[in-house]
């Protein structure tokens, strides 16, 4: 994959032509009234020419800046590792920033109008690769192939680049219970078409030390992400109580090789499995998993002979428990959610938060007299004052979105922010920080 590059705008040579009336001095040292008038005219012409030069220069610079901005927006992103960079202070954000190049456009918020994914209420595992060095294989993972941590120009955070066929499994995930959600981001190079898919599997391993045996485990289900030039293919296959089931296949434009990350979310509710790719629900299978399955492993797998099939994984998060929104807010007086996500160092809500916002909007619509205070919280990274301001702005952004997108009366919602002052988990690991970054709805 080639590194994201910010294409430098073409700088056309600028020729500033100043036409000045040169008045030849035909007089001696003594200056006559006529020569004085000519001198004044000459000075005025020079001043006018200089002012015109400066105006032309300012106009040229403004046009060049505009062209540069337009070029940056048009530049197609490439999903390639940039040179290793020291992580900058991130505040309380989802990921640290990397190269300051233009990122490809994300799906619009409005496109998620049918998106109904709501993550579990508590984050139990998360991976942002912050604890490992660029170029290393992550210490908390296992593989029989090879991979390395990289940064990607124009994309926040660190990514695991899968460079060879084999399995890749996060060993810190040892339980995927009856009600669980798994989210991660996946990206490839533009026009990627390696011929081999990435498989993502929930597995019941008899021996956690033998992840290579995942395909013969008594219970598993896996879905593929097979990226193509204009659209991709996904299929979902399961093995239940030792018997393999026939796979189903579907095509989706979400897997086009656009160079932008695809946000993938998996929601298991006992036997039912739903898989989302960006705003599209690609799979909703009532009996994809065995009722007796006790999944204890998450496996990413690239089949053999893949050649140049580089996949990039990032922002892995596992959460458990049902949201139970109405009961929490109406009867218990508070609903805490980790499903409203924001851009790095920003109060801009990510579009994949739509399902959670729609869930809360539904409760407010059904309970017309319900009033709430929306409270933002951050983790402890970064400056205290910055985190406090960020949490307040994010709460205000949630209110504005509920009012504008879901037509909730703004007078029913107040906002506040607590920054990092009220943690509910430790701030020394990715999962703890993810739990502390939250939005609370408190009944008034």
Q: Are residues 261 and 367 in the same domain?
A: no
- Is residue 51 located within the same domain as residue 85? no
Locate the DSSP E strands across 60-211.
81-82, 122-127, 141-143, 147-152, 158-162, 166-170, 179-187, 198-204
- Paired strand residues for 432: none
| Residues 299, 211 share a domain | yes
In the listed set 75, 102, 125, which residue is the last one of a domain according to the structure? 75
Question: Quick one: 310 and 370 in the same domain?
Answer: no
DSSP string for residues in 240-283? ETTEE---EEEEEGGGB--SS-EEEEEEEETTEEEEEETTEEEE
Q: Helices 354-366 and 384-406, interaxial angle, to 10°?
A: 60
Helix/strand/coil for 3: coil
Indicate if 294 and 159 belong to the same structural domain. yes
Task: Verify that 118 and 204 share a domain, yes or no.
Answer: yes
Same domain (yes/no): 304, 350: no
If asked whether residues 364 and 418 sit together in one domain, one would say yes
Task: Please spell the DSSP secondary structure of 389-402, one letter per residue.
Answer: HHHHHHHHHHHHHH
296, 320, 344: which is the final residue of a domain?
320
> What domain range is 51 assigned to?
1-75
**Are 380 and 250 contained in the same domain?**
no
pLDDT in tens, the chain (444 residues): 433 333 333 333 333 333 333 333 333 344 344 444 444 444 555 555 556 555 665 565 565 555 545 544 444 333 343 333 333 323 333 333 333 334 455 677 878 888 999 999 899 999 999 999 999 999 999 999 999 999 998 888 999 999 889 999 999 999 999 999 999 999 998 878 767 899 999 999 999 999 999 999 999 999 999 998 889 999 999 999 998 887 789 999 999 998 899 999 999 999 999 999 999 999 999 999 999 999 999 999 998 867 667 899 999 999 998 777 888 899 999 999 999 999 888 899 999 999 999 999 999 999 999 999 999 999 999 899 999 999 999 999 999 999 999 999 999 999 999 999 999 999 988 999 999 999 999 999
Say yes or no: 56 and 164 in one domain. Answer: no
Q: Which of 32, 57, 75 is the last residue of a domain?
A: 75
How far is Cα 346 from Cα 315, in angstroms, rounded to an integer? 17
CATH code of the domain covering residue 394: 3.30.1330.60
Q: Within 13 Å, how many C-alpha atoms sit on residue 329's CB side?
A: 27
| 226 in the same domain as 114 | yes
Do 150 and 258 fall into the same domain?
Answer: yes
Model-level pTM?
A: 0.74
Domains contained in the chain, number: 3
């Amino acid at each position: 994959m080639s590194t994201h590059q910010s294409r430098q705008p073409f700088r056309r040579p600028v020729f500033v032509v100043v036409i000045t009336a040169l008045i030849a001095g035909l007089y001696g040292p003594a200056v006559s009234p006529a020569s004085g008038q000519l001198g004044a005219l000459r000075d005025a012409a020079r001043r006018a020419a200089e002012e015109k030069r400066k105006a032309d220069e300012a106009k040229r610079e403004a046009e060049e800046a505009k062209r540069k901005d337009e070029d940056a927006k048009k530049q197609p992103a490439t999903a390639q590792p940039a040179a290793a960079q020291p992580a900058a202070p991130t505040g309380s954000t989802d990921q640290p920033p990397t190269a300051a190049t233009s990122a490809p456009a994300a799906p619009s918020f409005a496109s998620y109008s049918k998106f109904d994914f709501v993550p579990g209420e508590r984050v139990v595992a998360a991976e942002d690769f912050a604890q490992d060095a660029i170029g290393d294989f992550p210490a908390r993972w296992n593989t029989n192939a090879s991979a390395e941590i990289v940064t990607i120009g124009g994309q926040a955070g660190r990514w695991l680049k899968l460079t060879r066929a084999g399995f890749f499994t996060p060993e810190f995930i040892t339980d995927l219970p009856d009600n669980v959600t798994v989210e991660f981001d996946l990206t490839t190079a533009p026009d990627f078409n390696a011929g081999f898919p990435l498989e993502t599997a929930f597995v019941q391993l008899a021996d956690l030390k033998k992840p290579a045996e995942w395909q013969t485990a008594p219970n598993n289900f896996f879905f593929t992400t097979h990226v193509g030039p204009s659209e991709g293919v996904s299929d979902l296959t399961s093995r239940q109580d030792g018997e393999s089931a026939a796979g189903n296949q579907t095509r989706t434009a979400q897997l086009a090789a656009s160079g932008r990350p695809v946000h993938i979310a998996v929601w298991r509710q006992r036997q039912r499995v739903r898989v989302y790719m960006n705003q599209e629900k690609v799979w909703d299978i009532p009996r994809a998993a065995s009722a007796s399955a006790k999944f204890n492993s998450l496996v990413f797998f690239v089949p053999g002979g893949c050649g140049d099939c580089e996949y990039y994984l990032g922002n892995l998060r596992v959460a458990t428990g049902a949201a139970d929104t109405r009961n929490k807010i109406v009867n218990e007086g508070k609903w805490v959610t980790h499903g409203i996500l924001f851009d790095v160092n920003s109060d801009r809500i990510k579009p994949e938060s739509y399902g959670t916002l729609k869930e809360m909007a539904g409760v407010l619509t059904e309970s017309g007299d319900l009033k709430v205070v929306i409270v933002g919280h951050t983790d402890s990274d970064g400056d205290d004052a910055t985190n406090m301001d960020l949490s307040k702005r994010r709460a205000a952004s949630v209110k504005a979105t509920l009012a504008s997108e879901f037509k909730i009366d703004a007078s029913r919602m107040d906002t506040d922010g607590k920054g990092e002052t009220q943690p509910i988990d430790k701030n020394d690991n990715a999962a703890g920080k993810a739990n502390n970054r939250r939005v609370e709805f408190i009944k008034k």
